[in-house]
């Protein structure tokens, strides 16, 4: 009697499904590793550029073009990776900083008194608290205290509150790094948006915010 032979039925369709499932996972892992390494590379470049910019700025306070020259040093350190092909919304800020690295802001004066201007152009006048012996501006019902330097027409934070107010109000009048005396800080801050190559595949945001800040003592040359 002839024995029936077990023959395997073709499974080409199942193999294709299995291959596709494994391939998707493999590609996500591969692109994930590549994307993470690329992000770390850009982040490291930005950190190094900020540090080298600060190092240049602290020995260049006597140069009238300290801000554009420092910005040029920062851009050169990026080696072309600050272009739109790598990052978006590239900005470099160079300013005199307080002991926490926060910007020292300028104030302005008109017939009414001294004031700071927010991002909408509204004037917030500086007042004096005789009890505490400190200057302040108001934010809602709160008093934001700070140190006022009439020589450089600048404002320095005293308890961490003015930095938060300045950020929320959108103050932009940062004091020139050329005014940084010996032993005070100069900061270089870089902001940009990193764009992943395949954010949808990796379930990532379309942009990732990168900020690097380096601040060092001025040598006031």
pLDDT in tens, 43-87: 999 999 999 999 999 999 999 899 999 999 999 999 999 999 889
- CA end-to-end span of the chain: 106
Residue 58 phi/psi, 5-degree rounding, is -70, -15
C-alpha closest to that of 132 among 105, 158, 99, 163: 158
Entry field: residues in the chain: 221
For the chain, how are helix, strand and coil distributed in percent, rounded to 5?
A: 30, 30, 40
The pLDDT of residue 69 is: 97
Best-predicted range by mean pLDDT among 9-23, 24-38, 71-85?
71-85
The pLDDT of residue 210 is: 95
Coil, strand or helix at 201: coil
| Cα 148 from Cα 129, distance rounded (Å) | 12
Q: Supply the DSSP symbol for 16.
A: H
Torsion-angle region of 128 (φ positive above 0: left; ψ -120 to 50: alpha; else: beta): beta
pLDDT digits (tens, 9 = 90+) for 180-208: 889 899 999 999 999 888 776 667 788 89
pLDDT digits (tens, 9 = 90+) for 158-174: 777 888 888 888 887 88
Q: What does pLDDT average to over the chain?
A: 86
Q: What is the pTM of this model?
A: 0.75
| Cα 182 from Cα 89, distance rounded (Å) | 33
| Cα 183 from Cα 159, distance rounded (Å) | 20
Tokens of 114: 């001294």
Residue 216 pairs with which residues in a beta bridge?
186
Q: Where are the domains of the chain?
A: 14-217
């Amino acid at each position: 009697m002839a024995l029936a032979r077990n023959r395997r039925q073709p499974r080409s369709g199942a193999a294709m499904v299995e291959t596709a499932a494994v391939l998707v996972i493999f590609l996500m892992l591969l692109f994930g590793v590549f994307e993470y390494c690329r992000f770390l590379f850009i982040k490291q470049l930005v950190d190094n550029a900020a540090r080298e910019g600060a190092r240049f700025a602290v020995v260049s306070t006597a140069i009238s073009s300290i801000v554009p020259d420092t910005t040029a040093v920062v851009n050169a350190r990026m080696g072309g990776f600050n272009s739109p092909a790598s990052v978006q919304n590239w900005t470099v800020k160079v300013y005199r900083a307080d002991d926490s690295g926060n910007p020292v802001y300028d104030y302005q004066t008109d017939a009414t008194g001294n004031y700071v201007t927010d991002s909408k152009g509204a004037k917030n006048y500086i007042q004096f608290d005789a009890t505490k012996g400190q200057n302040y501006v108001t934010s809602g019902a709160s008093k934001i205290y700070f140190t006022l330097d009439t020589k450089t027409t600048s404002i320095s934070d005293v308890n961490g509150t003015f930095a938060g107010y300045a950020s929320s109000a959108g103050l932009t009048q940062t004091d020139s790094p050329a005014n940084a005396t010996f032993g005070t800080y100069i900061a270089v801050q870089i902001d940009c948006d990193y764009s992943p190559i395949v954010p949808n595949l990796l379930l990532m945001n379309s942009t990732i915010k990168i900020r690097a800040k380096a601040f060092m003592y001025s040598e006031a040359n």
